[in-house]
């Protein structure tokens, strides 16, 4: 799916990254770099806040380097967004931490995600005097319940231009797990945009992960962007059905009559031991002059 990309440059970014100024920062890396998470164990949704702490120790020449970490994606096919949210980095100790470069991908109006919607990455320049120690603190929040797959580890990078140092540390997540409901219109891949004329029938089929036998699923049609003007569109319940014994499902004939761009989302009718999160389904573009439907 498309995403709108915005880039914000710090005052130093153009100066340092331009080809004529590559030597503006002569990297002096720390002699010690250690990453930890505090607390290192989280629980959804009761205990979600934590912080990453990167301890650095400079040598006799001090330290001057670039520090960065992108928000990690879920690492699950078809799932957009990030399981984490980051706050603004700060120093706990001496030194100077200056915003250097920021790149963010804001979601397009028709996109769908889980957890944090915007995948972003910030760079900071850290300068530290000789033989000193400080700690970079990055506030973080668990933004969504874990899925039936390992959560990705955040990667922090200390840049030196040629051989970046990558730091990782595990964070254990407990509490209620999330349910991933994969939906598609047969003949099309999941999450695909499908054209339909007003009132033209379609069915939804898919699976639950982990398998949820004999469970009710509710499907919601939500307008995202309009293919035609003059309509006041609001979300509504499109269907409700039960899964089979293996957690799969298939609906009866469905249809959408009002032109527009409709995102189909789904969630368990009764969450039980699972977190009550919505899963993204197909995007239907409903109109009268869309050409041959897929």
The CATH number assigned to the domain holding 30 equals 2.60.40
Q: How many CA atoms lie within 13 A of 66 on its CB side?
A: 23
Contact criterion met (CB below 8 Å) for 55 and 33: yes
Residue 294 lies in a domain: no
- Residue after which a domain boundary falls, among 130, 150, 175: 175
What does the alpha-carbon distance between residue 247 and residue 216 come to, in Å, rounded to a whole number? Answer: 10
Give the strands of the sheet with 180-184, arranged side by side.
180-184, 205-209, 249-250
Which structure tokens are listed for 73? 């994606």
Same domain? For 224 and 89 the reply is: no
What does the alpha-carbon distance between residue 136 and residue 56 come to, in Å, rounded to a whole number? Answer: 8
Q: Supply the pLDDT for residue 6.
A: 43
Indicate the pairing of strand 193-196 with strand 180-184. Answer: unpaired
Instruction: Report the alpha-carbon angle 148-153-157, nearest 5.
Output: 160
Q: How many residues does the structure list for the chain?
A: 294
Q: Supply the pLDDT for residue 7.
A: 42
Residue 158 lies in a domain: yes
Residue 262 lies in a domain: yes
Whether cis (ω within 30° of 0) applies to the bond prior to 258 is no
Same domain? For 147 and 28 the reply is: yes
Same domain? For 94 and 204 the reply is: no
Round to the nearest angstrom and report the end-to-end CA distance of the chain: 18
Q: Supply the pLDDT for residue 26.
A: 67
pTM score, two decimals? 0.82
What does the alpha-carbon distance between residue 121 and residue 17 come to, in Å, rounded to a whole number? Answer: 16
Same domain? For 166 and 280 the reply is: no
Same domain? For 39 and 103 the reply is: yes
What does the alpha-carbon distance between residue 268 and residue 44 come to, in Å, rounded to a whole number? Answer: 17
Whether cis (ω within 30° of 0) applies to the bond prior to 210 is yes
Whether cis (ω within 30° of 0) applies to the bond prior to 154 is no
Parent domain of 18: 3-175
Q: Supply the pLDDT for residue 1.
A: 40
Q: Which helix (H) or strand (E) holds 37?
A: strand 32-38
- Find all residues with CB under 8 Å of 20, minimum gap 6, and list them: none
Residue 224 lies in a domain: yes
CA 180 to chain centre: 15
Same domain? For 164 and 188 the reply is: no
What does the alpha-carbon distance between residue 125 and residue 27 come to, in Å, rounded to a whole number? Answer: 10
- Find all residues with CB under 8 Å of 12, minimum gap 6, and list them: 24, 98, 100, 125
Same domain? For 68 and 148 the reply is: yes
Same domain? For 60 and 108 the reply is: yes
- Residue after which a domain boundary falls, among 118, 140, 175: 175
Structural domain count, the chain: 2
What does the alpha-carbon distance between residue 12 and residue 245 come to, in Å, rounded to a whole number? Answer: 59
Residue numbers in the chain where pLDDT is lower than 70: 1-26, 109, 118, 161-162, 225-232, 290-294
Q: How many CA atoms lie within 13 A of 46 on its CB side?
A: 5
């Amino acid at each position: 799916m498309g995403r709108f990309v915005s880039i914000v440059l710090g005052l130093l970014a153009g100066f340092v990254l331009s080809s004529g100024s590559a030597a503006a920062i002569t990297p002096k890396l720390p002699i010690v770099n250690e990453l930890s998470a505090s607390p290192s164990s989280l629980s959804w949704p009761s205990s979600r806040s934590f912080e990453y702490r990167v301890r650095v120790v400079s040598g006799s020449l001090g330290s001057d380097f670039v520090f960065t970490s992108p928000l990690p994606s879920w690492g699950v096919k078809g799932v957009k967004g990030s399981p984490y949210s980051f706050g603004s980095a700060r120093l706990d100790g001496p030194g100077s931490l200056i915003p250097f470069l920021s790149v963010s991908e804001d979601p397009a109006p028709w996109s769908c995600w889980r957890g944090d919607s915007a995948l972003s990455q910030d760079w900071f320049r850290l300068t530290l005097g000789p033989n000193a120690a400080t700690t970079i603190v990055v506030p973080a929040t668990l933004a969504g319940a874990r899925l039936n797959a390992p959560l990705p580890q955040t990667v922090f990078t200390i840049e030196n231009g040629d051989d970046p140092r990558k730091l990782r540390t595990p964070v254990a997540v407990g509490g209620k797990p999330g349910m991933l409901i994969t939906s598609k219109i047969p003949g099309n891949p999941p999450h695909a945009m499908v054209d339909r004329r007003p009132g033209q029938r379609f069915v939804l089929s898919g699976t639950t992960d982990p398998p949820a036998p004999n469970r009710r699923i509710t499907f919601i049609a939500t307008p995202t962007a309009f293919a035609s003007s003059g309509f006041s569109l609001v979300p509504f319940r499109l269907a409700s059905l039960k899964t089979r014994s293996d957690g799969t499902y298939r609906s009866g004939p469905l249809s959408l009559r009002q032109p527009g761009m409709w995102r189909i989302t789904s969630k368990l009718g009764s969450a039980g031991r699972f977190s009550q999160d919505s899963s993204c389904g197909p995007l239907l573009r409903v109109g009268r002059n869309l050409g041959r439907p897929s």
